[in-house]
Structure 1
Amino acid sequence: MKQRSTEPEIMDDLELSGSELEATLQTIERVNRFLGGSRNVTNVIDSLLPLNPNPTILDAGCGSGDILRELQSRFGQNNAPVQLVGLDANTHILDYARAHSEGITFLKANIFDHIIPHPQATIVLCSLFLHHFTDQQIVNLLRQWKSAGVHAILINDLQRGHLPLLLFRCIAFLFRFPPMARYDGSLSIRKGFRKNELRTLAKEAGYNAIEIRPVWAFRYRMILKNEQL
């Protein structure tokens, strides 16, 4: 796995709908709970909130909205004035997210339309999102957010390698993943990153304040801060 795979995932079909899509969204939610994917985000988000007194958090590629609901629960307990926005390009995924959420704004948009649908977003979340794109697309996207005045980007994504793939296959067997989740999950790891690759992409996009660390279940957590603000 010296290089990232460029093969598209089934989930990349923006017209995808139906029971298998819902089953895959539910599987991702279960895995996030089991492997702590949500905690990788919520445990560090508090450190980013002081960047703005009334932050808007935009979850790019929000999927089912499970991480936003986790944040909503956390901020609700602390009475924090935070606005939560989910962004996805698939209408059917957004319908699912809206049906399972209250008090969260969900917007349909393709991030490569070069239009930030919620321009006052101060923190952008990218959880298991960036691996869907090519290196150049990622650089362009990070630049776009920096130019739009986003204060910080919190990235949670997959490590590429044989051990992560082995762990995934074990989890897929134990949790009885549906076929689509098995296929996309395995491919996602082959589309994942090495630590130096993430740092290089961030630097190409113009970021100098870069923090990257490996976290549980063969993922990387990267925080990018906009030093121009």
Structure 2
Amino acid sequence: MNPFASLRVPIERDEEMDAAELSPENYARVLADLSRINALTLAPRPTLGFLDRVRARGVGDRPWRILDVGFGAGDMLARIARWGDKRGVALDLVGVDLNRKSEAVAAMRLGARARLITGDYRALAGQGWDVILSSLVTHHMTAEQRSEYLRFMENEAARGWLVNDLHRQRLPFAGYPLLATLAWVDPIVRRDGQLSVGRSFRRAEWRTMLAKALPDTANECRIFRSFPYRLCVERVR
């Protein structure tokens, strides 16, 4: 993709890894390489920081029920499990993903640490969630799907929720292909990673989305940057 393509608005194009015809073997390789890129770009950092802020409000006397929407390779759930062990916080971890090919990949990483579900997160309403979170998911959604997802989290997460996604800026958009090349990742990860930056959002766009989806509580949500190029939205109750 042209590194100087317009980023005035999010790019509207589907990513290759979402294609139904991608074989399970290729999909597993893509997820493995994406996990490496996530580690290199400090993807867990804002998620674990958010959990620390939730913990500062009190741990309580029962395990936290945490739902990871779009769990992919399960790498974020694995990091959350280690966070809970280190902090002494008992966790009941659940992941949901629309792609049926994700479950086998994540199960190898997580074992019995998390319950993995293939399906729609909306089917899990009313199940007593303490925390709902996602990473690199919201830019895959349509505008209406994002609004519905924000309302779901606001209504269902007793302790708080987090959107961990990318920041649409020129430097990561132009520079990501070089990182991907140096990391020897699958070409799909190289192409999709750059496209993901182009599909993601800026602070003003998140403010508009929050005001539309959550008019009564948008001001209680925090939009923040996380090094190097993440833009996140959190609500800590």
Q: TM-score, normalised by structure 1?
A: 0.89
Q: CA deviation at 1:107?
A: 0.9
Distance 1:151 1:76, change over 3 A: closer
Superposed, 1:64-213 pairs within 5 Å as 64-102=73-111, 103-111=113-121, 114-116=122-124, 119-206=127-214, 207-208=217-218, 209-213=220-224
- Give the aligned length: 224
Q: Partners in 2 of 1:143 and 1:16 — Cα distance?
A: 32
Regions of 4+ moved over 6 Å: none
Q: Deviations over 1:52-95 (max 9, x none)?
A: 62321111101011111111112112331111111111121111
Q: Partners in 2 of 1:149 and 1:66 — Cα distance?
A: 22
Gaps of 5+ in 1: none
Query: Quick one: percent identity of the two aligned structures?
Result: 25
Letter in 1 for 2:227: W
Whether 1:37 and 2:36 are equivalent positions in the alignment is no
Q: Partners in 1 of 2:123 and 2:66 — Cα distance?
A: 17
Instruction: Indicate the residue corresponding to 2:4 in structure 1.
Output: none
The question of whether the paired residues in 1 share the 8 Å contact of 2:97 and 2:117 is answered with yes
The question of whether the paired residues in 2 share the 8 Å contact of 1:199 and 1:210 is answered with no
Whether 1:2 and 2:8 are equivalent positions in the alignment is yes
The question of whether the paired residues in 1 share the 8 Å contact of 2:59 and 2:89 is answered with no
Letter in 2 for 1:21: Y
Whether 1:17 and 2:27 are equivalent positions in the alignment is no
Q: Partners in 1 of 2:33 and 2:16 — Cα distance?
A: 15
Q: Partners in 1 of 2:116 and 2:35 — Cα distance?
A: 17
Whether 1:48 and 2:54 are equivalent positions in the alignment is yes
Distance 1:17 1:52, change over 3 A: farther
Q: Partners in 2 of 1:180 and 1:216 — Cα distance?
A: 24
Gaps of 5+ in 2: 1-6
The question of whether the paired residues in 2 share the 8 Å contact of 1:131 and 1:193 is answered with yes
Letter in 1 for 2:96: L
Q: Give the secondary structure class of the aligned counterpart of 2:95.
A: strand
Q: CA deviation at 1:147?
A: 3.0
The question of whether the paired residues in 2 share the 8 Å contact of 1:131 and 1:188 is answered with yes
Q: Partners in 2 of 1:118 and 1:172 — Cα distance?
A: 40
Letter in 2 for 1:169: P
Q: Give the secondary structure class of the aligned counterpart of 1:40.
A: helix
Q: Partners in 2 of 1:121 and 1:168 — Cα distance?
A: 35
Letter in 2 for 1:66: D
